[in-house]
Chain A
Amino acid sequence: MRRGAFTLDARFTAPQAGVVALFGRSGCGKTTLVNIISGLLAPDRGHIDIGGEVLLDTATARRVAPEDRRVGYVFQDSRLFPHLTVAGNLDYGLRRARGRTQGVRRDDVISLLALQELLARRPHTLSGGERQRVALGRALLAQPRLLLLDEPLASLDAARREEVLPYLEALRTRLAMPMIYVSHAFDEVLRLATHLVVLDAGSVVAQGSLTDVSLDPALTAIVGPAAAGAVLDGRVVDVDATHGLARVAIGDHGELRVGAAGTAPGMSLRVQVLARDVILSDRPPEGLSVRNALRGRISAIDTDSNDTRRVLVDLSGAGIVAYVTRDAIDALRLAPGSTVWVLVKAVSLRSHPFPGPGV
Chain B
Amino acid sequence: MTLTPEELDALRLSFVVATRSVLISLPLATLIAWLLVRGRFRGRFALDALVHLPLVLPPVVVGYLLLVLFGRRGPIGGWLHDAFGVQLAFTTAGAALATAVMSFPLMVRAIRLSLEAVDRGFEDAARTLGAGPADRFLSVTLPLMLPGILAGSVTAFAASLGEFGAVITFVANIPGETRTLPLALYTAIQTPDGDAAAARIATLSLLLGFSGLAFAEWLARRIRRTLGQT
Q: Give A contacts to B, CB under 8 Å.
A: 38-40, 65-73, 75, 77, 79, 81-83, 92-93, 96-97, 122-125, 138-139, 142
Contacts and interface: CB of A to CB of B under 8 A. Distances in A.
B228 A139 contact: no
Contacts of A68: 130
B130 A96 contact: yes
A100 to B, nearest CB: 10
Interface stretch (B93-101, B120-128, B212-220): B120-128
Contacts of A81: 122, 125-126, 140, 143
A66 B136 CA distance: 12
Which interface residue of B122, B125, B132, B229 has the most chain A CB atoms within 10 A?
A: B125
Contact of B127 (A67, A83, A124, A139): A67
B147 to A, nearest CB: 10
15 contacts: A65-B132, A67-B127, A67-B130, A73-B128, A79-B121, A82-B122, A82-B144, A83-B146, A92-B131, A92-B139, A93-B129, A93-B130, A96-B129, A122-B228, A124-B228
Contacts of A79: 119, 121-122, 124-125
B227 interface: yes
A97 B127 contact: no
Given A77-B121, A79-B122, A81-B140, A67 B227 contact: no
A67 B131 contact: yes
B contact face: mostly helix, strand, loop, or mixed:
helix
Nearest to A73: B128
Contacts of B143: 81, 83
A184 B198 CA distance: 72
Contacts of A96: 129-131, 135
B144 A83 contact: yes
Nearest to A126: B228
Which among A40, A69, A125 has the highest number of chain B CB atoms within 10 Å?
Answer: A40
B4 interface: no
B2 interface: no
Nearest to B121: A79
A73 B125 contact: yes
Contact of A92 (B126, B132, B227): B126
B226 A83 contact: yes
Interface string B128-166: 111110011001100110100000000000000000000
A41 to B, nearest CB: 10
B227 A83 contact: yes
Contacts of A125: 228
B2 to A, nearest CB: 45
The 3 nearest A-B residue pairs measured at CB: A124-B228, A96-B130, A93-B129
Given A79-B122, A79-B124, 11 more contacts: A39-B127, A40-B124, A66-B124, A68-B130, A70-B130, A73-B125, A81-B126, A81-B140, A83-B143, A83-B227, A139-B128
B142 to A, nearest CB: 10
A82 B228 contact: yes
Contacts of B119: 79
B230 to A, nearest CB: 9
Given A77-B121, A79-B121, A79-B125, A67 B228 contact: no
